[in-house]
Amino acid sequence: MDNYKNATTAAIRIQNTLTDEMEHSTPLFLTSSFQFDTAEDMQGAFAETNDHNIYSRFVNPTVTEFVQKVCALEGAEDGFATASGMAAIFGTFMTFLNSGDHILSSASVFGSTHTILTKYLQRWGIQSSYTDFSNKEAIIQAIRSDTKLLYLETPTNPGLDIFDLEMIGKLCREKGIIFIVDNCFATPLLQRPIEFGADLVIHSATKWMDGQGRVLGGVVVGRKELIREVYLFCRNTGPSMSPFNAWILSKSLETLDVRMQRHCDNALTLAKRLQSHPSINAVKYPMLETHPAFAIARKQMSAGGGIVTFELKGGLDAGIKFMNGLQMLSLTSNLGDTRSIASHPSSTTHSKLSEEERLAVGITPGLIRVSVGLEHIDDIWSDIRNSLDPLI
């Protein structure tokens, strides 16, 4: 697969190879199955001696178009699309992990991923553990002879920690471990983990890829022989993406580049303005010099992404007051929408963790996460400032 910097370019090259027609926009194959001219054609499809579509749980042309666009952006050989980001994560874990295997993960991961790692995998005799991925020695210590997968997010949700993909990629290659990166927060427009040694890259397409808060989706892309395994597992177990969602997402990818530029510009400006507000202790954004891994962010990302976090001096109470003071920003648990969204992790998404567990992943009582939208930055800032000022 050639790789392109922008999915609109990729779209033009990919789409017309999928059917004999020459649609200008993405066609929607809203069908569960495909028919054959002859018994031999059908026989060949099952034997994989031709590439005829069989059944949409396996492959569907609209879904293939979406997957190929993501491959082009990530510089990946092949991919498989799923109903949600969690379906991609769980499907990939279960493809490779057998009873007796171990998976090593960074401590701060998306909430449902944390639940899979700590509550479900053990049921099948799979061990998981966390370590500090910003510390090379700690990773070396944590790798075991039965470690099969190494999994991380960078930037992490919601902590915005940044890990050195190149350093970790090298370690995985030396040890023969499959290196998987959840690249949801960066998108392939800002960071391409395969260039730094990742074997597989996973996305929740629900977030920035759709970017308009409409559909759920997930995708895993990477090395051809690994994707083949994911495909065979998923074709049988059924987490596949709906053609309708692929149709939505495929068009969304064509505007991802310009959307991300605006999200990132707005986020950086917001982060800088927040830094001088008296009711805030600290602001975290990958492209601020005060970020502990600023140098690594600069090395592996072209911009900081659309998420900014900050810590209110007034703790939990201030967090609740801030959320209630917002007029324009939505109180929503999603992120990566056209509209700016605020969330208060310690009273919502992470309220079930103990205080100690929350602090271990950087979630203090006054932490606010903002998913910065496409509105004018002055409108975003005035809503946030109006809600911050009474907290001084």
Ligand X SMILES: *Cc1c(COP(=O)(O)O)cnc(C)c1O
280 or 368: whose CB is closer to ligand X? Answer: 368
Which neighbouring-strand residues pair with 55? 33
116 or 391: whose CB is closer to ligand X? Answer: 116
SS (H, E, C) 279-291: CEEEEECCCCCCC
In whole angstroms, give the CA distance from residue 342 to residue 368. Answer: 7
Residue 40: CA atoms inside 13 Å, Cβ hemisphere, count? 0
Q: What are phi and psi of 311, to 5 degrees?
A: -115, 115
Minimum CB–partner distance for residue 82 and ligand X (Å): 9
Minimum CB–partner distance for residue 336 and ligand X (Å): 8
In whole angstroms, give the CA distance from residue 226 to residue 283. Answer: 39
Minimum CB–partner distance for residue 85 and ligand X (Å): 2
101 or 153: whose CB is closer to ligand X? Answer: 153
Beta strands across the sheet bearing 341-343:
280-284, 307-312, 367-371, 341-343, 330-331
59 or 180: whose CB is closer to ligand X? Answer: 180
Asked whether the beta carbons of 128 and 105 are under 8 A apart, the reply is yes
* Chain contacts with ligand X (rule: CB under 6 A): 84-86, 110, 153, 157, 182, 184-185, 204, 206-207, 216, 218
Point out the residue whose Cβ comes nearest to ligand X: 85
Asked whether the beta carbons of 29 and 19 are under 8 A apart, the reply is no
Asked whether the beta carbons of 220 and 80 are under 8 A apart, the reply is yes
45 or 209: whose CB is closer to ligand X? Answer: 209
Q: What letter represents residue 216's amino acid?
A: L
Minimum CB–partner distance for residue 231 and ligand X (Å): 19
216 or 253: whose CB is closer to ligand X? Answer: 216
Minimum CB–partner distance for residue 297 and ligand X (Å): 16
In whole angstroms, give the CA distance from residue 269 to residue 377. Answer: 8
Minimum CB–partner distance for residue 184 and ligand X (Å): 4
In whole angstroms, give the CA distance from residue 113 to residue 157. Answer: 11
Which neighbouring-strand residues pair with 283? 310
Number of C-beta neighbours around residue 344 at 10 A: 23
Asked whether the beta carbons of 339 and 324 are under 8 A apart, the reply is no
Minimum CB–partner distance for residue 267 and ligand X (Å): 16
Minimum CB–partner distance for residue 215 and ligand X (Å): 9
293 or 335: whose CB is closer to ligand X? Answer: 335
164 or 182: whose CB is closer to ligand X? Answer: 182
